[in-house]
Chains A and B, each alone.
Chain A
Amino acid sequence: MIVLSSVSKWYPNGARPALIDVSVEIGAGEFVFLVGPSGSGKSTLLRLLLREERATSGQVVVAGRDVARIADRRVPQLRRIVGCVFQDFRLLPNRTVAANVAFALDVVGRPRHVVRSVVPEVLELVGLGEKADRYPDELSGGEQQRVAIARAFVGRPRVLLADEPTGNLDPATSIEIMSLLDAVHRAGTTVIMATHNASLVDAMRRRVLELGDGALIRDEADGRYDQTVPQPLSPSATLPPVVPPPLVMLPPAVPAPRGVPAPTALPARPAGQAPDAERSPWATPTRSGPVG
């Protein structure tokens, strides 16, 4: 479903690469945790999968398509295959729960009878059937995230990316969201969840990819948040045999403490400014004016 081959990403003005020589394969229907400290490249990796950014080098393949080579006007089709939820929910405050979910179908031109039948189903699935007519600010954080998941899932994407979906939620709510994502996964969706929530990762025991300073430093099936027991890198069991295990492509290097090959030297780059802060519409408004 997703294949990264020697993917590196430099942001303009970045002092160091956001991703270095990352190679990994994620099969259809897998559930993968993406862990690593802030700034380790998790979000960048997700953005590459959505073609919000292009890799500086290497190849990103999603659902059989080389993402960098998709024509700009075809990018929307990629994004219908790859759904996404975020830490900050990103709901439209002036629309009801049902309207937020329906929006995702409306704007891709789904017919009205589909919207009318699918939206209540999905809201039922995420447990918000009763709150379809509420507005986002009348909901708890966990409920808002459920709406966001419903919106991402309603178009039946083949991949769901979740960027720290529990980052703003209390532990109990986080578990609810986790089980909802698990349900989405069981429905056949490939799920990639970037998270800092150690207890969730430890409880689920799914495949864990760990990034450190832009490099893939761990790929462990049934992994934990922190690797306690040193263990060799295990290529995913779902890899077809003809494809060499991706991490073999990492340069052999200095002895790595966890038995994982580490990248050799960082490519030097002239000192520049810090990477641009993400200019998100949800960012705190700056001089550009009041929030609409």
Chain B
Amino acid sequence: MGDTDAQWPGRLMRPGPLASLLWTGLRRNLAMTGAVIVTVTICLAMLGAGLLLRAQVHTIDGFLLDQIEVVVDLSDGITPAERSALEAEMRRDPLIAGVRYETKKQVYERFRRDFRGSPDVVAGVGPEDLPAALRLTLADPRASRDIAVTYTGLDGVEAVRDQRALLDPLYRFLDAFTVGAFTLAAVQALASFALIYTMIRISAHARRRETAIMKLVGASNATIRAPFVLESAVAGLAGGLLVAGVLVAAKVFLVDGKFARQTMFPLFGWAAVWESAVVVLAAGVLAAAVMASIALRRHLRV
């Protein structure tokens, strides 16, 4: 009987022949592959934009953590005992990192400093017009609203001014764009799936002789599917690389070049760009490969 058996070691194709199958497939399917790359790129660009916007929100949060304080204006009639009771309570509050008392005079000095560009405003306000205040630094800037609720209306408290509330429009703007970007990414992901599904169908048809022979000579199912999945993954990789380039370009030209001069807020750094680029690349390759595998179940019976 034959001296050979089916038990030889390697079961998947070697990289060389596999690459040649992949290459002929990509070439044969050039237009379709191009279309897939375009949709995948748009999808990943939206994903990347969403990730960077989220990074920007975090960057601003980090900045506010240092900068933003809640100011508790004290009524003029507060007694020293009431004030120290209030301060003690605040020091026990886990949301509050620090409490600093400012006298009416100190508040006036700060006011003059903040509005030194507007002498008219400064001229209309005297040292007695402004209330003494407790300035609170927060453990978590997002908790400012809770603090406002807790201390408003207590004895001796005239008003609680939450500086972060002033930034609500900015946050709403960034959040809306983040959600919008992720939504568009999802829609584009659907479009990409539809295209990859079609690409696999066309590719399976174009390759049907090859796959028939592969089946005939005993290629494993993984081997038969590999060129298809790789074809899609290559499109995903191409889209991911394009988007990674766009993210870097956006950081260099748009963020560092343009916005940096227009805003007092700090902008996200390179770490966020690299992080987003890695996520975009991984998502592009993996999602495209998974989509191809799903499409293969339908179009390639092995």
Interface, chain A (partner B; CB < 8 A): 28-29, 50, 72-73, 76-81, 83-84, 90, 92, 94, 102-104, 106-112, 151-152, 155-158, 188-189, 280-282, 288-289, 292
Q: Separation in Å of the A257 CB from the closest CB of chain B?
A: 38
| B2 close to A (CB within 8 Å) | yes
B4 touches A106 (CB 8 A): no
A111 touches B14 (CB 8 A): yes
- How far is A81 from B206 in the complex, measured between Cα atoms in Å? 28
B2 touches A107 (CB 8 A): no
A92 touches B11 (CB 8 A): no
A282 touches B209 (CB 8 A): yes
Q: Separation in Å of the A151 CB from the closest CB of chain B?
A: 7
B223 touches A94 (CB 8 A): no
Q: Separation in Å of the B211 CB from the closest CB of chain A?
A: 8
- How far is A196 from B223 in the complex, measured between Cα atoms in Å? 36
Known: A80-B6, A111-B10. A92 touches B209 (CB 8 A): yes
- How far is A104 from B210 in the complex, measured between Cα atoms in Å? 10
**Can you report 12 A-B residue pairs in the complex whose CB atoms are below 8 A from each other?**
A76-B218, A77-B6, A90-B209, A90-B213, A102-B17, A107-B224, A109-B9, A109-B14, A188-B1, A189-B2, A282-B209, A292-B209
B207 touches A79 (CB 8 A): no
- How far is A156 from B224 in the complex, measured between Cα atoms in Å? 21
- How far is A105 from B28 in the complex, measured between Cα atoms in Å? 24
- How far is A280 from B215 in the complex, measured between Cα atoms in Å? 13
Q: Separation in Å of the B145 CB from the closest CB of chain A?
A: 58
Known: A76-B221, A92-B213. A108 touches B11 (CB 8 A): yes
B208 touches A107 (CB 8 A): no
Task: List the 3 closest pairs (A to B, CB-CB), nearest first.
Answer: A292-B206, A109-B10, A80-B218
| B220 close to A (CB within 8 Å) | yes
Please indicate the chain A residues that have their CB under 8 angstroms from the CB of B24 in the complex. Answer: 94
Contact of A80 among B3, B217, B221 (CB under 8 A): B217
| B219 close to A (CB within 8 Å) | yes
- How far is A288 from B204 in the complex, measured between Cα atoms in Å? 12
Please indicate the chain B residues that have their CB under 8 angstroms from the CB of A288 in the complex. Answer: 205
Interface residues of B in 107-151 (CB under 8 A from A): none
A79 touches B218 (CB 8 A): yes
Q: Separation in Å of the A131 CB from the closest CB of chain B?
A: 19
Please indicate the chain B residues that have their CB under 8 angstroms from the CB of A50 in the complex. Answer: 216
B11 touches A107 (CB 8 A): no
B2 touches A106 (CB 8 A): no
A84, A152, A155 interface centre (most CB from chain B within 10 Å): A155
Q: Separation in Å of the A218 CB from the closest CB of chain B?
A: 27
B217 touches A155 (CB 8 A): yes
A107 touches B219 (CB 8 A): yes
B2 touches A108 (CB 8 A): no
| B212 close to A (CB within 8 Å) | yes
Q: Separation in Å of the A220 CB from the closest CB of chain B?
A: 25
B11 touches A103 (CB 8 A): no
